[in-house]
Structure 1
Amino acid sequence: MAHRRNSTNGDKYLYKGVKRSLSIENDVEKEYIFENEEDKVIVDQGPKFGKRYVEAILYFLGLFISYCTRVNLSLTVVAMTDPTANENKDIPTFNWTNRNVILSSFFWGYVIPQVMAGWLMTRYGPKWFMIGSVGIGSLVGYLLPPAAVYMGSMGVIICRMIQGFCQGFMIPAVPIFLSRWVPLSERGRICNFIYAASCVGTVFGMMISGSLSASLYGWPMVFHFFSTLGIIWCIIYAICGCNSPAESKSITAEELAYIEMTAIQSKKRLKTPWKGIFTSVPFYALFYTYTCFILGFWILLSQIPTYLNKIMKFDLKSNGFLSALPYIVQFVLSLLFSVISDYVTNRKILTLTSARKVFNCIGMIIPAISLIFLGYCTNATLGVVVLIIGVGTNSAATCSAFINNVDLAPNFSGVVQGIVNGFSNICGILAPLIVQVLVTDEENQVHWRRTFYLASAVYISGAIIFCIFGSGEVQPWNDDKKDEDSEEA
């Protein structure tokens, strides 16, 4: 039996036996098909805490472990190449001159699977791809210390390339989760919560890497520790995780119906609109802005430990904490910005497009100014404060660039994210190499200023382009009627 109800009266009808939900926002009539009349339940909103939040926590933890694995070498490589970093003389150290090449090697593998990963996970679901990503990357982490000893820097480069390739499936999975599990009214908060794993993972990864590298067990324990965390997460997610609400056996009927009613992803298999994507101005605005964010982010992330060590003269233990401190602030501010973003859009204070542009400017321009000041700081304490301001406010951009793919194309958010994240993270390869060219003397602050000027210019250009050409509206190619029933090419 089919029942049709206009949504303008303010009531929300949820059904325990939902078979299909065609949901359009902004007071457009919705159709619900359910099995029995007695299955109908009237509620004001979805459950306060439900399966979608459990899934969000699992995604957070998966991304958290991935970022720990991604960043641990930024600080550990200092201990691997410094004979005075550890009192235990049994811990091997190496005389490597290609440190920045080693740091960039992760991204050689990372950029390869992005578009393919987004397409595959959109079609088959992200669960087992994510488990394979973290699981294989963790196993390779166990092999990295012996590879360094017996194969030198080339062994480390190969291991990091494999880990990078595996992690190429993680970020494209997030927008697929958001489009399948998260209502529009909760999108900002849950999105920022998941992406905050990058801050928390960076903080935890750097602090633990610094402590373990300086401990009796030395730098090899860093890779063993994070690999073990990864294997544990794989087991938990294999048991508890689901690709979609309909697949979950533990979700309540009310929450399932609520998610189905507010779903923003089409239930039908649509042909990927490659032409629409690559001729879309808002897509290119997102692409450019995201690329600027990634380049600035990775210049900071990969070089902060070296900058604090060479310019600010902090030791390894202090370096780990101070390198992580800006990302602690970034995590806190990301949660604050996400709440504000949802508030101003849900209350119609700002349109979705305006909100995305405002938060993108905050997340790009303030860090740009901070980096310029950092290049002239001679006081170590003041330098750390400026660094905290720059990295902390950078989190505002996650309310824009990191979520805009779902705004533009909820049906193809994974594909869009794969394209954007894959090509933009070529900058992850370039960032350490650019620093190596610009900073020929790591103990000369004037050389570091060149790097900070470049990062500042990149950030500001990203803010300008998105303000002019960016959008928060769903694009026409997201749901092309002529392709509704077509199979994927």
Structure 2
Amino acid sequence: MENKPIDDNKIKAPLFGARHIQCILIFLGLSAAVTQRVNLSVAIVAMMDKNSTNPNFEEYQWSEKTKSYLLSGFFWGYFVTQIPGSQLAHRFGGKITLLLSIVLSGFLALLTPLSVRLGDWQMLFALRLCQGLIQGSIFSSIHTLLSKWIPAEERSSLGTFCYTGMAFGSVLMMLVSGWIASSSFGWPGIFYFTGLFSLIWGFVWYFVGASSPSACKSMTADERLYIETAMVTTSKPEHEHAAMKTPWLKILTSVPFWVLLLTQSSYAFGFMTMLTQIPSYMKSILGQDIKSSALMSSAPYLANMLLTFVFCILADFLMKRGYTSVNASRKLFNTIGFWVPVVPIILLGYMSADQSELALVLLVIAVGVNTAGSLGFLTNHIDLSPNFAGVLMGIANCAANVMSLSAPLTVGFIVTDAKNVQQWRIVFYIAGGLYFVGNLLFIFFGQTKIQPWNYPKTERDERDHIRFETIKMETEKI
């Protein structure tokens, strides 16, 4: 059966409570993490062009291929720790793994300028690789937290709001990067900003964040009852959750999960191609300086963030009025997020420097509407298995990040001349094509039913079953 909202007449929850505070903190934490990923994409433009930044800082003459290595370095590490990170989040509950991932990576962000001065691009690549390794558990941690905190009826709105932190972090980074690079801080200030943002968030999260409602001391009894009642039939209590053995074979032979994995992978390539390459595309094809490029690059992600709230409200309205089921809602918004951007993305490959305004409109549509996919595949892991949502995210994100790290490498292989729009055209055709195929699979084969393997037997369940069978046999003998 599909997930259904509980009866609001039975238990009322506060309109704003502890679960909303947790979601706001997760939103900001993800924003901090994303600024660490995006900072090099915007800073590298200034690092390779002394005229676009404070002239007191060194300029680096790196090739396009070297640049592609640097932009993909984070994802090589990020890929490796997805599944181990998901197991850590499953074992420890999400709070501590999220804290360590963002804070430790933030420390490395502060050390980035020093690493470049000491070891040029090779040491920078190593540092980005380490940041990726550290951040591998972030999405699994968030999914684990959401599976404990957010009832099914609020999953589309509050869950998607948390992941809007990706767009907010991108907007924030691109808005401030041009100003910081041109200030007395120069391009190193971009990395200092992201590091300090992450450390401040970590301090607040340590004292306010909680792995589950039972671990939160600041929430009302009514809200705790509301959440725990909604979760009672789908998710194990926290003290039993960590003891549950992951049903690896059943997960890896699940068709709905494989469809989700492929959908998420197609999204990852398209999203990361746009995220890491827009600043370079703006400068090379549209002829924008770093300040103009930063402002223009941030506009699509600002639209992405704002449209997220529009789509969340629309999704809630359609489901609460009974116009769409959970399954229909997931596929409707996934279709909007994947298929609407296809044409604008392809058209970007036909733009020239005198069409910068039209190119910006296309980018706003492509990246802005893309957020609707967050209400589709991005919370589908929790639909399929609330108990193992973090594990599913870890596996799927591992595969997705093969695509993420291949995005800048693909661009580096195809775009040998950054000012050649025909080479960029090939990149955009690939991104648009993957969006189309990914959603087609999700429409035909995606599911939202809780899978049977969500309820594996714990050791306690097995002991109880053996005890029951023993008593039954003894009774039959009598």
User: Does the TM-score normalized on the shorter chain lie above 0.5?
Assistant: yes
How far is the alpha carbon of 1:484 from its aligned partner?
Answer: 7.1
Q: Match of 2:215?
A: 247
Question: What is the TM-score normalised by the length of structure 1?
Answer: 0.89
Q: Deviations over 1:425-445 (max 9, x none)?
A: 111211111011111211111
Contact 1:57 1:194 in 2 (8 A): yes
Of the three residues 410, 423, 438, the one matched with 1:434 is 410
**CA offset digits 1:275-325 (Å, max 9, x no partner):** 111111110110000000000001111110011101111111010010010
Structure 2 vs 1, CA of residues 481 and 126 (structure 1 numbering), >3 Å: closer, same or farther? closer
Residues 137-166 of structure 1: CA deviation (Å, up to 9, x unaligned): 111111110110110001111111111112
Task: Give the conservation status (yes or no) of the 8 Å contact 1:352–1:473.
Answer: no
1:402 corresponds to 2:378: yes
**Counterparts in 2 of 1:262 and 1:484: CA distance versus 1, 3 Å:** farther
Match of 2:468 in 1: none
Is 1:290 paired with 2:264?
A: yes
Between the two structures, name the one with larger relative contact order (CA 8 Å, sep ≥ 6).
Answer: 2
Give matches, 1:199-210, under 5 Å: 199-210=167-178
| 1:37 equivalent in structure 2 | none
Cα distance in 2, alignment partners of residues 45 and 411 from structure 1: 24
Superposed displacement of residue 480, structure 1: 3.7
Structure 2 gap ranges (5+): 464-478
The answer (yes or no) to whether the contact 1:271–1:486 under 8 Å persists in 2 is no
Match of 2:437 among 436, 455, 461: 461
TM-score (norm. length: structure 2): 0.91
1:485 and 1:115 map into 2 onto residues whose CA distance is: 26
The answer as to whether partners of 2:156 and 2:375 remain within 8 angstroms in 1 is: yes
Q: Larger helix proportion, structure 1 or 2?
A: 2
Distance 1:447 1:169 in 2: 35
Residue 26 of structure 1: how far off its partner (Å)? 5.3
Query: What RMSD, in angstroms, separates the aligned Cα atoms of the two structures?
Result: 1.8
Shifted more, 103-112 versus 341-350: the winner is 341-350
What are the equivalent positions in structure 2 for 1:181-220 lying under 5 Å apart?
181-220=149-188
In the TM superposition, residue 347 of structure 1 has moved relative to its aligned partner by: 2.6
What SS does the aligned partner of 1:45 have? coil
Name which of structure 1's ranges 372-381 and 280-289 shifts more when overlaid on structure 2: 372-381
Q: Distance in 2 between matches of 1:49 and 1:355?
A: 24
State the match for 1:95 in structure 2: 61
> Which SS does the other structure have where 1:152 is aligned?
helix
* Alignment map for 1:25-40 (pairs within 5 Å): none
Unaligned runs of 5+ in 1: 1-23, 31-41
Residue pair 1:360, 1:399 contacting (<8 A) in 2 also = yes
Say yes or no: does 1:147 pair with 2:115.
yes
Which whole-Å CA distance do the structure 2 matches of 1:27 and 1:83 have between them?
Answer: 56
Helix, strand or coil at the partner of 2:461: coil
Q: Do residues 171 (structure 1) and 106 (structure 2) align? A: no
> How far apart in 2 are the matches of 1:168 and 1:484?
31
SS in 2 for 1:91: coil
Task: Give 1:36's aligned residue.
Answer: none
- Measured in 2, the distance between the counterparts of 1:272 and 1:175 equals 16
Q: Does 1:299 align with 2:265?
A: no
Report the residue type matching 2:166 in the other structure.
S
User: Which residue, out of 4, 11, 14, partners 1:47?
Assistant: 14
| Number of the residue aligned with 1:38 | none
Amino acid at match of 1:45: K
Q: Structure 1 segments of 4 or more deviating over 3 A? A: 24-28, 480-484
Aligned to 2:35: 68
State whether residues 271 and 483 of structure 1, in contact with CA within 8 Å, keep that contact through their aligned partners in structure 2: no
CA contact (8 A) 1:271 1:484 kept: no
Residue of structure 1 aligned with 2:98, choices 111, 130, 155: 130
Residue 242 of structure 1 aligns with an amino acid whose one-letter code is A
Identity of aligned residues (%): 35
Secondary structure in 2 matching 1:402? helix
| 1:371 and 2:354 correspond | no
Which secondary structure state, in structure 2, belongs to the residue aligned with residue 46 of structure 1? Answer: coil
Q: Which moved more, 1:158-167 or 1:450-459?
A: 158-167
Cross-structure match for 2:472: none
SS of equivalent to 1:111: helix
In the superposition, relative to structure 1, how do residues 113 and 27 fare at CA in structure 2: closer, same or farther (>3 Å)?
closer
CA drift at 1:47: 1.1
Q: In 2, distance between residues paired with 1:403 and 1:25? A: 12
**What does the per-residue CA deviation read over 1:446-487, in whole Å, with 9 as the maximum and x for residues that have no partner?**
111000111111000001111111011111111145877369
Asked if structure 1 preserves the Cα contact closer than 8 Å seen for 2:351 and 2:421, the reply is no
Deviation at 1:43? 6.1
